[in-house]
Homo-oligomer: A and B are copies of this chain.
Amino acid sequence: MTRSLLEMQRTRTPVEIPSILENLSVVTFLKEKELPCDPKVRSLFSHSTSLHLLQAQKGEEKALIPLRIGVLFSGGPAPGGHNVIAGLFDALQQSTPEGALFGFFRGPEGLLQEKYCPISAQSVDAIRNTGGFTLLGSSRTKIETHAQMQLAMNTCNKLRLDGLVVIGGDDSNTNAAMLGKFFLDKNCPTCIVGVPKTIDGDLTHAHLPLSFGFDTACRVYAEMIGNLCMDAASTCTYTHFVKLMGRSASHIALECALTTHPNYTLIAEEIALKKQTLRNIVNDIADLVMQRSALHKNYGVILIPEGLIEFIPEISLLIKEINGLLGQGEPTSSFEIIAKLSSSSRKCLESLPESVQKQLFLRRDPHGNVQVSLIETEKLLAELVSQELDRRKEQGTFSGTFHYRTHFFGYEGRSSFPSLFDSTYCYALGMGAYTLIKENLTNHLVAIDSLALPIYEWSVQALPLLSLLHMEEREGQQKAVIRKTLVDCSKKAFLHFARDRDSWRLEDDYQSPGPMQFPEYFDPFFFLPQSYLNEHVRNF
């Protein structure tokens, strides 16, 4: 791969670090407080595992010993991953030149199959501040079974690793927690350290304000949404229905709404809370189109979170029923399934456009479930709104025009150039991960806090993975997994949005943030995601 001009510039740009990471030989961790934990989760783990939040502090200078560390990417890419490796590498180099960093290819797969490479200064210099996980690749392979954990341990033992850094989301860090427990049980000396990665923004905690990649992905989508807003206001012709990646949670839709001010944004968690039906949503949007049309605005921009469909009560029930019927042995014909549905689910299915009915029946994942993410919710809503407006036209209550275009923004935001925030944040996470291993801390996630302060004042913490776990039903069994953080409609990040959104419906307060810039000096206020500023900085 050859590097573009901007990549070459970015690879040469140094990254600012928190002052606590300036001299690694004095970093020590102090117990901050004990965190709460579900007793069922607690009972799964040996009681030797601490539940204390640990804070990095400057202590006495200690001689640093050469460490051997392994690192891997797990799951979908998120911008900034390369800088975690750069931070880790630089910390290792700064402490003792005899240390070694090994990268596992294609995530956990490389760990299981002993596919890795030593990471050199040259390879790190080529990836600083660049997007993607191209240095090592990634995969969704999981380390779950006893045999897999044994293989992973064998690799760590063979390489004599002092630490293994897992860069991953909620599922990957759940796996990391289990692997860490296995290592402790087997007296394997390799520390497991998690790094919070996910563009979806759903891996957070009271002491983990943000996962990396969220800021950048939102900026990439917001650039495109801002452009669509400008296009809508220029041609005055189209209503753009924009679906945004983000799995179940609507954090991305919320953040993009805060930065671009579209006319309407669906927040799935709010819809579930208010028990809104698909009919309610369609009518709401049709009302909006009519109100705008009365102002001669036959255009608009509407944001839709990818996970929406699971949060609409009647569709969520329908999907559950179909999955249940599909799961019962042999593949069943769609007629048979229809016959076995409850009458309310049959009615719900009937109300959906044919193309969506097909998607519900045809596309199943390896476990036989409907693949919710492949359902084109943006087209579903646009078509239903169009039908509703046709009905109103016939009734004589609507006389405007309604042309729509649909979009889905997702993959283009996962491997983008990391934003200034994610570049800085990830580099600090990488260095922070080193300090955890140096202090022999295992089963912790490295967390950076106080992000609204100047970078040199950011704090580095070790957050016990245990404190993130809760019990949840997965494939019919109760399992300890990391809880996905959904949008909380009682929190300030949402409340700011809820206060402002009404004025965006009719007035076109569109904002076009434009392409991400990498200036030497920047406005710290625009350095962080807007939902973070709402939650932690702004008064309400």
Interface residues, chain A, with chain B CB atoms under 8 Å away: 1-7, 10, 73, 76-77, 106, 130-134, 137-139, 220, 223-224, 226-228, 230-231, 233-238, 240, 261, 355, 405, 407-408, 411-417, 508-518, 523, 526
Besides A4-B512, A137-B233, A231-B411, 16 new A-B residue pairs in contact (Cβ under 8 A), listed by A number:
A1-B511, A2-B261, A7-B514, A131-B227, A134-B230, A134-B234, A137-B235, A138-B234, A138-B235, A220-B515, A230-B415, A231-B415, A407-B408, A407-B412, A416-B514, A416-B515
Number of copies: 2
Q: List 26 A-B contacts (CB under 8 A).
A: A1-B508, A4-B226, A4-B512, A5-B513, A5-B526, A6-B513, A6-B514, A7-B514, A76-B235, A77-B235, A106-B236, A134-B233, A137-B235, A138-B234, A138-B235, A139-B235, A220-B515, A223-B416, A224-B412, A227-B411, A405-B411, A407-B411, A407-B412, A417-B512, A515-B516, A517-B517
Complex contacts, A417 vs chain B, CB 8 Å:
512, 514-515
A234, B514: Cβ atoms closer than 8 Å: no
Say which residue of B10, B132, B237 sits within 8 Å of A233 (CB atoms): B132
Query: Which residue from chain B places its CB closest to the CB of A133 in the assembled complex?
Result: B234
* A224 cross-chain contacts in B, Cβ below 8 A: 224, 412
Tell me the minimal C-beta distance from A223 to chain B in angstroms.
7
Contact B227 A510 (CB under 8 A): no
Among B73, B234, B416, which residue has its beta carbon within 8 angstroms of that of A415? B234
CA distance A407 to B132 in the complex (A): 19
Nearest Cβ on chain B to A229's Cβ, whole angstroms: 8
Q: Is the interface of A mostly helix, strand, loop or mixed?
A: loop
Q: From residue A200, how far is it (CB to closest CB) to chain B in Å?
A: 15
Give chain B residues whose Cβ lies under 8 Å from the Cβ of A4. Answer: 226, 511-514
The residues of B that contact A261 with a CB separation of less than 8 Å are 2
Q: Which residues of B contact A228 (CB under 8 A)?
A: 411-412, 415
With both beta carbons as reference points, the residue of chain B lying nearest to A414 in the complex is identified as B231
Distance in angstroms between the alpha carbons of A76 and B234 in the assembled complex: 8
Contacts of A513 in B (CB 8 A): 4-6
In contact, B412 and A227 (Cβ under 8 angstroms) = yes
Q: What is the bound-complex CA distance between A514 and B106, given in angstroms?
A: 24
Which 9 A-B pairs rank lowest in CB-CB distance, beginning with the nearest? A132-B230, A515-B515, A230-B415, A133-B234, A231-B415, A6-B514, A77-B234, A224-B412, A132-B234
User: A514–B513 Cα gap in the complex (Å)?
Assistant: 16
Which of A132, A508, A513 has most B Cβ within 10 Å?
A132
Q: Which residues of chain B are near A407, meaning CB under 8 Å?
A: 408, 411-412
Quick one: which of A77, A407, A514 has the most chain B CB within 10 A? Answer: A514
Report chain B residues within 8 Å CB of A236: 106, 137, 139
- Say yes or no: B512 contacts A7, CB within 8 Å: yes
> How far is A486 from B526 in the complex, measured between Cα atoms in Å?
43
CB-CB under 8 A from A77, the residues of chain B are 230-231, 234-235
Q: Is the CB of B1 within 8 A of A233?
A: yes
Query: Which B-chain residue is minimally distant from A136 (CB atoms)?
Result: B234
CA gap between A413 and B223 in the complex, in Å: 10
Contact B230 A131 (CB under 8 A): yes
Q: Select from chain B the residue with minimum beta-carbon distance to A508.
A: B1
A517-B518 contact given A76-B235, A227-B415, A412-B224, CB 8 Å threshold: yes
Q: How far is the CA of A514 from the CA of B131 in the complex (A)?
A: 9
Beta-carbon contact of B512 and A131 below 8 Å:
yes
CA distance A2 to B6 in the complex (A): 29
Nearest chain B residue, comparing its CB with the CB of A525: B5
Chain B nearest Cβ from A423, distance in angstroms = 12
Q: Tell me, in angstroms, the Cα distance from A502 to B2 when the chains sit together.
A: 16
Instruction: Specify which chain B residues have a CB less than 8 angstroms from the CB of A132 in the assembled complex.
Output: 230-231, 233-234, 512
Instruction: Say how far A75's CB is from chain B's closest CB, in angstroms.
Output: 9
In the assembly, what is the distance between CA of A4 and CA of B222, in Å? 12
C-alpha gap A3/B526 in the complex (Å):
14
The closest CB in chain B to the CB of A217 belongs to: B227
